[in-house]
A and B are shown apart, each in its own frame.
Chain A
Amino acid sequence: MHGRVKVRTVAEQAEAKKKEKEKKLQAYNAALEKIFEKRNNQILDEEGLKLSLEVLLANPDFYTLWNFRKDIFFSLKESRPTEELQKLYEEELHFIESCLRVNPKSYGTWDHRTFVMNNIPQADWKRELFLCNKFLEYDERNFHCWDYRRFVVKNSTNITIQDEFDFTTDKISSNFSNYSSWHYRSKLLPLLQPDPEQPAGVKEEALLKEFEIVQNAIFTDPDDQSAWFYHKWLLGRGEIKLDLLHVVIIRKSKRVVVNVTKPIHLVDTPYKIQLEVNGNTITDKWQNPFDTNLHSPVWIMLLPDGIMSTDDTMEISVKLLNDSETISSCLLTMKSSMKQASYHSTTVKPAAIFSSELTAAKSAILEQELQSIQELLELETENKWAILTVVQLMKSLDSIRYATEIKNNLEKLQSIDPKRERYYNDFGSKIVIENQIKTMDPLESMLQLNNLSLTAAYHMEYLLILQDLDVSHNHITNVKNFAYLQCLEVLNLDDNQLDNVDGLEFLPSIVSISLRRNFLANLEVLRPLQRCKTLVMLCLDGNPLFASSGMPHMFVCLSSIQMSIIPKNFP
Chain B
Amino acid sequence: MATPMKDVVISEKAPTTLLLQKHADFIAAYGTKKDDYEYCMTEYLRMSGIYWGLTALSLMGKLDKVDKQEVLDFVKKCQHENGGFAASLGHDPHLLYTLSAIQILSLYDAVDCINSDKVVEYIKGLQQEDGSFVGDKWGEVDSKFSFCAVATLILLGKLDAIDVEKTAEFVLSCMNFDGGFGSRPDSESHSGQIYCCVGFLAITGRLHHVNVDMLGWWLCERQLPSGGLNGRPEKLPDVCYSWWVLSSLKIIGRLHWIDKDKLVQFILACQDDETGGFADRPGDMVDPFHTLFGLAGLSLLGDNSVKLVNPVFCMPQETIDKLNIRVHLLTL
A interface with B by C-beta (< 8 Å): 1-6, 21-22, 24-25, 28-29, 36, 40, 58-59, 61-64, 67, 70, 107, 111, 115, 141, 143, 146-147, 150, 175-177, 179-180, 183-184, 186-187, 200, 220-221, 223-226, 229-230, 232-233, 237, 263, 268, 292-295, 357, 418-423, 426-427, 430, 456, 458, 477-478, 480-481
Residues of A within 8 A of B44 (CB): 59, 61-64
Q: Is the CB of B331 within 8 A of A1?
A: no
Write the B108-137 contact mask toward A (1 if CB under 8 angstroms, else 0): 000000000000000000000000000010
| Residues B289 and A22 in contact, CB atoms below 8 Å apart | no
Q: Which of chain B's residues have a CB closer than 8 A to the CB of A420?
A: 220-221, 223, 257-259
Please count how many residues in chain B sit with their CB below 8 Å of the partner chain's CB atoms. Answer: 68
Most buried by A among B1, B165, B211: B1
Q: Is the interface of B mostly helix, strand, loop or mixed?
A: loop
B284's contact among A3, A143, A200, by CB below 8 Å, is which? A3
CB pair A263 B232 closer than 8 Å: no
Report the separation of the CA atoms of residues A180 and B232 in the bound assembly, to the nearest whole angstrom.
10
Contacts of B214 in A (CB 8 A): 232, 237
Query: Is the Cβ of A146 less than 8 Å from the Cβ of B223?
Result: no
Apart from A5-B284, A70-B138, list 14 A-B contacts with CB within 8 A: A2-B280, A3-B280, A3-B281, A5-B285, A25-B35, A58-B41, A59-B44, A64-B90, A67-B138, A111-B140, A176-B2, A186-B176, A230-B177, A418-B259
Q: Contact check: which of A175, A200, A419, A456 meets B258 at CB < 8 Å?
A: A419
A-B CB contact pairs (8 Å), 17 listed? A6-B283, A21-B37, A22-B37, A58-B41, A63-B91, A64-B90, A67-B136, A70-B138, A141-B235, A223-B5, A224-B2, A224-B3, A224-B234, A292-B205, A419-B259, A420-B259, A421-B259
Cβ contact within 8 Å between A177 and B90: no
Q: Is A183 a contact partner of B188 (Cβ separation < 8 A)?
A: yes
Fill in one digit per residue for B181-225: 1 if any A CB lies within 8 Å of its CB, else 0. 011101111100000000000000111100101101110110100
B87 neighbours in A (Cβ, 8 Å): 63-64
Say yes or no for B256: interface residue by CB 8 A criterion: yes
Minimal Cβ-Cβ distance residue in A for B39:
A25
Name the CB-closest residue of A to B187.
A147
**B187 contacts which chain A residues (CB < 8 A)?**
143, 146-147, 150
Whether B285 contacts A4 by the Cβ 8 Å rule is yes
Q: CA separation between A62 and B92, bound complex, in Å?
A: 10
- By a CB distance below 8 angstroms, the chain B residues around A184 are 186, 188
Chain A residues near B318 (CB-CB < 8 A):
none
How far apart are the CA atoms of A3 and B290 in the complex, in Å?
A: 12
Which residues in A have their C-beta under 8 angstroms from that of B5?
Answer: 223
* CB contacts between A and B, total, < 8 Å: 168
> Are the CB atoms of B280 and A1 closer together than 8 Å?
yes
Instruction: Check if B1 sits within 8 Å of A176, measured CB to CB.
Output: yes
Q: How far is the CA of A223 from the CA of B331 in the complex (A)?
A: 31
**0/1 string, B311-332, CB within 8 A of A gives 1:** 0000000000000000010011
Taking the nearest CB of chain A, how far is it from the CB of B50, in angstroms? Answer: 15
Q: How far is the CA of A177 from the CA of B3 in the complex (A)?
A: 6
Of the residues A221, A419, A427, contact of B2 by C-beta under 8 Å: A221
CA distance A226 to B189 in the complex (A): 12
Residue ID in chain B nearest A292 by CB atoms: B328
CB distance from B219 to the nearest CB of A (A): 10
Q: Name the prevailing secondary structure of the A interface residues.
A: helix
A6 and B279 contacting across the interface, CB-CB below 8 Å:
yes
Instruction: Check B223–A419 contact: CB distance below 8 A.
Output: yes
Find B256's partner among A70, A221, A422 (CB 8 Å cutoff): A422
- In the bound complex, do residue A61 and residue B257 qualify as a contact, i.e. CB atoms below 8 Å apart? no
Query: Are B234 and A141 interface neighbours, CB within 8 A?
Result: yes
A2 touches B238 (CB 8 A): yes
Whole-angstrom CA separation of A260 from B35 in the bound complex: 63
B183 partner, pick from A147, A200, A223, beta carbons under 8 A: A147
**Of all chain B residues, which has the CB nearest A427?**
B213
Asked whether, in the complex, the Cβ of B234 is within 8 Å of the Cβ of A422, the reply is no
The answer to whether the Cβ of B233 comes within 8 Å of any Cβ in the partner chain is yes
B29 at the interface (CB under 8 A from A): no
Q: Return the CB mask of B251-282 against A: 1 if under 8 Å, else 0.
A: 00010111100100000000010000001110
Q: Are B2 and A179 in contact (CB under 8 A)?
A: no
> Once bound together, how far apart are the Cα atoms of A141 and B6, in whole Å?
14
Contact with A along B280-297 (1 / 0, CB 8 A): 110111010110000000
Q: Give complex CA distance A569, B96 in Å.
A: 51
Name the CB-closest residue of B to A502.
B331
* Binary contact track B142-158/A, C-beta < 8 Å → 1, others 0: 00000000000000000
